[in-house]
Amino acid sequence: MLSRHADSLYWLARYVERAENTARLIEAATRLSATPIAAEGGRNEWEMAVDGTGTLDLFNQQYTQATQRTVVDYLAFSTANPSSIRCCLDIARANARSVRTALTMDMWETINSGWMETRGVNIPNLTRQELSDFLSRVKELSLRFDGSAYRTMLRNDAYYFLRLGTFIERADFTARMLALKADVLDPSRPSLGGSADYFQWSWILRSVSALTSYHWVYRDNLKPNLVAEFLILKPEMPRSLVSCYEKVTLNLDSLSRDYGRQGASQRKARMLLSQLQDTSLPGLFAIGLKEFLESFIVDNANLGDTIAEQYLG
Amino acid sequence: MNGFGQGVRPAYRTIQAWLDNSDPENLKRLQKEAEFLFRRIGITFAVYGDAEAEERIIPFDIVPRVLTGSEWATLSKGLTQRVTALNRFLADIYGAGEIIRAGIVPADLVYQNSAFRPEMVGLKLPHDVYVQIAGIDVIRTDDKDFYVLEDNARTPSGVSYMLENRDVQMRLFPDLFASRRIQPVENYPDELLTSLRSLAPVSAPAEPTVVLMTPGPLNSAYYEHSFLADKLGVELVEGRDLYVLDEVVYMRTTRGPKRVDVIYRRIDDEFLDPMVFRPDSMLGIPGLISAYRAGNVTLANAVGTGVADDKAIYTYMPDIVRFYLGEEPILKNVPTWRCREPDCLRYVLDHLPELVVKEVQGSGGYGMLVGPKSTKEQIETFRARLVADPDGFIAQPTLALSTSPTFVGEGVAPRHIDLRPFVLTGADKVRIVPGGLTRVALKDGSLVVNSSQGGGTKDTWIIDDPVDDASPPASVSQSQSQSQGG
């Protein structure tokens, strides 16, 4: 396929995934802000949410204070934030338009109608309910997009590039959410006591929609080391780093099989996957959770660059 | 008013019966549903200079336009004849120039035409086909004759609407289709691909690679470009996806370079190759024309076909048909005054309020004067333009355009229509799918059907010739009593 089309598919999937993740992040912050024990160390949950997207500096240039109003505006609607939900959907649709021929009708209709629906939301006087509806629609768009890709696309390079975008973006987001709270996940850190800890840990799980699945897997209370293990090392958790990298490797291998040629991105992805698979929980905390996650975020971004060099140039 | 005027043409009886049979509220609902479908599928077009409505849908009218099989037979014969002559004309003016030496078409109209491309002189194209895809706009004024309004020989658009209109019409009115055998149009992409492949360069492999080239998503016809590429199963490329090496065109793919043999380009001549045409164009491919001249790639349509859809050349089309084919033209030209000729200019200036005056190079319904619909002031402004540049204009009478019943806010009413069939020329023959794009002027009394000027479109049906039966079908009278009861 055309390199430019592969590039558009890859970014289309990344932006759809990013929009969904941001919607979940806003929902989690909204929930946390409604709990009695919200703030910790002077940072409120709204500022934390922005930090989770890695764009706190940009936010601070535009707003004086992190409140629900400013953060929702910034994360959901601002055109000055290239990763806001609105911008993500605009870019996703522009990419979709430029690769119409590589998308199935179901996928295009999902993107196009979802984009039209969410575009009409009137921002300044948004009620809580309207915000919640908006976020639901964004999640729905992403789910339908994913589902229609899964159910209607030919399993060829177009599909593989699309999936690569999804899983690289997803791994990035999960790692960022964990890094944000790496300190409260460290088991050696003195407990804040009772419900304060619970809200911090559950916040992480909620932001990646994993609270219920955690209970299914561990049948236990929230424990910080288990939260880390769940989101990094558990292959059955679809948003865990190891699960994302299984999929990344799979799709890259499918590409190399179809094209009859291996390259740097296949080697790099396999190396990252085996590193994750070889890691144990005590090992993770010995390296330092924050350090581990920060270096993962960099490696993941590098893999994206390598894919671009190999195929999208 | 039933929207059918005085005498309902036999071909329309089914439609009339259907409309009489339908609850107006239900029709309104279906009309809305059609619009919703078009918007959701994303069948939009962009209007340049209209930032507010960046993407609009062209209104779709749920009442189809109907032609009988025998009407179509005449029309398609005429179209084939006309396009064959057009191709002969282009091969001649970029070759020996016999028609000019014979004194039939003035040399300056050809060689000084801004669409004339000296780069094409002496070039031999595969099978001498210049216009692989033509969109010929025709109108009727009565039951008998078709008149050609315009020969679109550059990059005619609208064929996606022909196909989507049929699709939406079938989705909304499955019963209507069951009652009539309507000739299919959905094989158009197959016919197009066959035509294009038949015209690949001699040096191309047995399975030539065809691509469709678009200026990009900001182009007003981008939807159509992506739609067609999809239906053809070919890559939709932009200039930046292609490059030329040793006079061969390649595209950049995820598997490395791939040779391209045929480019169905939906981009104007002057943007094709910055090394030959506009140096500031970012849309084209440097070196494309060198590959073209070397015979390593086919462009559809060929470069320089704009001469043939010039409105000044149009006036000579009947002579062009006679000259090359030795036949009488089957399709008529609308009587036209060439303002460059002093007698004609005098007549036109004296009769401005009755005439339609068009720019020779204009398109899309822009820059024209519709005399009967214009104010004194508009007429005077146009008169000044005409006097300043008589060569730039032609004038035509306002014909009594035929109308078709059309669903408007208040119900069904007659509206003016035209028809653009798409004529494909391949190495072996000319192909035309039975139908075309019917455009309709939605404003009452308006003659302008262009989408940029508020026109809409309809599905176009070619049906078997009706058996002329004086008594109306039983279902009609029955339905009328039903609707009165309800």
pLDDT value, residue B217: 87
The C-alpha angle B438, B442, B446, rounded to 5 degrees, equals: 100
pLDDT tens readout for residues B186-213 = 999 999 999 999 999 998 998 999 999 9
pLDDT value, residue A206: 87
Is residue B102 classed as helix, strand or coil in its secondary structure? Answer: coil
Q: Which residues of B touch A311 (CB under 8 A)?
A: 254
User: Who contacts B68 (Cβ-Cβ below 8 Å, separation ≥6)?
Assistant: B10, B11, B462, B463, B464, B465, B466
Confidence of residue B304 (pLDDT cuts 50, 70, 90): very high
Q: Do B222 and A312 touch (CB under 8 A)?
A: no
pLDDT at B473 over 50: no
Q: Which residues of B touch A2 (CB under 8 A)?
A: 235, 237, 241, 251-254
pLDDT at A197 over 80: no
Listed in sequence order, the DSSP H helices in A181-240 are 182-185, 194-207, 211-218, 224-232
pLDDT value, residue A207: 86
pLDDT at B470 over 70: no
For residue B474, the tally of other CB atoms under 10 A from its CB is 9
pLDDT value, residue B55: 65
Confidence of residue B5 (pLDDT cuts 50, 70, 90): low
Q: Which residue has the higher pLDDT, B452 or B268?
A: B268
Q: Which residues of A touch B42 (CB under 8 A)?
A: 97, 100, 108-109, 112
Q: Which of A204-208, B313-317, B408-412, B471-475 has the lowest mean pLDDT?
A: B471-475
pLDDT value, residue B451: 65
pLDDT at B284 over 70: yes
pLDDT tens readout for residues B15-38 = 888 888 888 888 888 888 888 888
Question: What is the least distance, in Å, from the CA of B162 to any CA of chain A?
Answer: 19
Q: What percent of chain B has pLDDT over 70?
A: 88
Phi and psi, residue A189, nearest 5°: -75, 140
Question: Which of A2-11, B9-18, B213-222 ranks highest by mean pLDDT?
Answer: A2-11
Mean pLDDT in residue range A98-118: 90
Phi and psi, residue A2, nearest 5°: -65, 140
pLDDT value, residue B181: 82
Q: Which residue has the higher pLDDT, A71 or B481?
A: A71
pTM: 0.83
Q: Which of A23-37, B214-228, B363-377 has the lowest mean pLDDT?
A: B363-377
Q: Which of A65-74, B2-11, B317-326 has the lowest mean pLDDT?
A: B2-11
Asked if B251 has any chain A CB less than 8 Å from its own CB, the reply is: yes
Confidence of residue A72 (pLDDT cuts 50, 70, 90): very high
pLDDT value, residue B250: 97
pLDDT at A214 over 50: yes
Confidence of residue B483 (pLDDT cuts 50, 70, 90): very low
Q: Do A2 and B253 touch (CB under 8 A)?
A: yes
pLDDT tens readout for residues B129-163 = 999 999 999 998 777 789 998 999 999 999 999 99
Q: What percent of chain A has pLDDT over 70?
A: 96
pLDDT at B486 over 90: no
Asked if B171 has any chain A CB less than 8 Å from its own CB, the reply is: no
SS3 content of chain B, % helix, strand, coil (to 5): 40, 20, 40
Average confidence score pLDDT of chain B: 86
pLDDT value, residue A103: 92
Distance CA B134, CA B157 (A): 9
Residue B148: beta bridge partners?
B138, B333
Confidence of residue B54 (pLDDT cuts 50, 70, 90): low
pLDDT value, residue B178: 78
Q: Which residues of A touch B235 (CB under 8 A)?
A: 1-2, 5, 101
HSE of A192, CA atoms in CB hemisphere, 13 A = 17
Query: How remote is the C-alpha of A109 from its chain's centroid?
Result: 23
pLDDT at A39 over 70: no
Q: Do A2 and B237 touch (CB under 8 A)?
A: yes
Q: Which residue has the higher pLDDT, B448 or B140?
A: B140
Asked whether B132 and B109 are in contact (CB, 8 A), the reply is: no
Question: What is the least distance, in Å, from the CA of B233 to any CA of chain A?
Answer: 8
Q: Which of A2, A101, A311 lies nearest to residue B230, judging by beta carbons?
A: A101
pLDDT value, residue B53: 47
HSE of A190, CA atoms in CB hemisphere, 13 A = 0
Asked whether B193 and B232 are in contact (CB, 8 A), the reply is: yes
pLDDT at A71 over 70: yes
pLDDT at A85 over 70: yes
pLDDT at B471 over 50: no
Asked if B257 has any chain A CB less than 8 Å from its own CB, the reply is: no
Closest-CA residue of chain B to A160: B254
Q: Do B254 and A108 touch (CB under 8 A)?
A: no
pLDDT value, residue B400: 66
Confidence of residue B414 (pLDDT cuts 50, 70, 90): confident
pLDDT at B369 over 60: yes
Closest-CA residue of chain B to A117: B40
Closest-CA residue of chain A to B224: A100
Q: Which of A1-5, A38-42, B358-362 has the lowest mean pLDDT?
A: A38-42
Average confidence score pLDDT of chain A: 91
Confidence of residue B453 (pLDDT cuts 50, 70, 90): low
Interface list for B 296-355 with A (CB within 8 A)? none
Distance CA B309, CA B453 (A): 21
Question: What is the least distance, in Å, from the CA of B446 to any CA of chain A?
Answer: 32
Q: Which residues of A touch B (CB under 8 A)?
A: 1-6, 94, 97-98, 100-101, 105, 108-109, 112-113, 116, 157, 161, 255, 259, 311-313
pLDDT value, residue B413: 82
Asked if B429 has any chain A CB less than 8 Å from its own CB, the reply is: no
Question: What is the least distance, in Å, from the CA of A171 to any CA of chain B?
Answer: 24
Distance CA B108, CA B131 (A): 22
